[in-house]
């Protein structure tokens, strides 16, 4: 052990010293162990920095996949616009209806329903849904055969195309 330390230390242990090091050996070395620990810490910090730098995200121009299916993305867009334009705006044509969102369906069929306002658990009067990995939105129910059906169809088509406005362009 002494021969191994002789190459690393400025003080070479003499043959008269015992084989084990005295208790205060490290303090006599002038902080050599502290310097070595500092170097090791800096090396670990640099390695951690390199590892972190290699995990940087892709450039901001690349679209980040959301993990959502095409049907859910399409239905979120349509449902937000429908709620804003029909329900939250207190549109008189939709005053007697409530919206029931079922976008988080585990069946792969995100949808929303229009139901009677006074009977939330009642039969849906309008179903707006998309299925699977398709962005095609289907609309059906008794309201589609009413005079309001034409407006519903044009609103849904506009929102599905990406135009979130509440009124059709003149």
Per residue in 96-145, pLDDT tens? Answer: 999 998 888 777 789 999 999 988 888 999 999 988 788 889 999 999 99
Model pTM score: 0.58
Backbone angles phi, psi at 138, to 5 degrees: -100, 140
123 located within any domain: yes
23 located within any domain: no
Spatial distance between the Cα atoms of 75 and 78, rounded to a whole number of angstroms: 5
15 located within any domain: no
Cα 121–Cα 126–Cα 160 angle in degrees, nearest 5: 130
- Confidence band for 5, pLDDT divided at 50, 70 and 90: very low
Cα 71–Cα 132–Cα 168 angle in degrees, nearest 5: 30
E strand or H helix at 36:
helix 32-54
93 located within any domain: yes
Spatial distance between the Cα atoms of 151 and 16, rounded to a whole number of angstroms: 104
Cα 26–Cα 32–Cα 37 angle in degrees, nearest 5: 105
151 located within any domain: yes
19 located within any domain: no
Spatial distance between the Cα atoms of 16 and 29, rounded to a whole number of angstroms: 19
97 located within any domain: yes
Query: Edge-to-edge strands of the sheet including 111-116?
Result: 97-102, 111-116, 126-130, 137-140
State the residue range of the domain holding 150.
70-160
Q: What is the number of structural domains in the chain?
A: 1
148 located within any domain: yes
């Amino acid at each position: 052990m002494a021969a191994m330390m002789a190459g690393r230390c400025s003080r070479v242990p003499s043959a008269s010293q015992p084989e084990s090091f005295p208790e205060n050996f490290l303090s006599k070395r002038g902080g050599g162990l502290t310097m070595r620990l500092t170097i090791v810490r800096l090396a670990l910090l640099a390695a951690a920095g390199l590892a972190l730098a290699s995990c940087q995200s892709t450039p901001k121009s690349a679209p980040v996949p959301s993990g959502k299916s095409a049907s859910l993305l399409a239905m979120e867009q349509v449902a937000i616009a429908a709620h804003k334009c029909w329900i939250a705006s207190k549109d008189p044509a939709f005053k007697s209806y409530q919206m029931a969102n079922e976008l988080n369906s585990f069946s792969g069929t995100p949808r929303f329903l229009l139901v009677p306002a006074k009977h939330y658990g009642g039969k849906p009067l309008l179903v707006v849904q998309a299925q699977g990995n398709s962005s095609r939105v289907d609309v059906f129910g008794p309201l589609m055969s009413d005079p309001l059906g034409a407006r519903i169809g044009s609103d849904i088509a506009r929102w599905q195309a990406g135009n979130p406005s509440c009124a059709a362009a003149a």
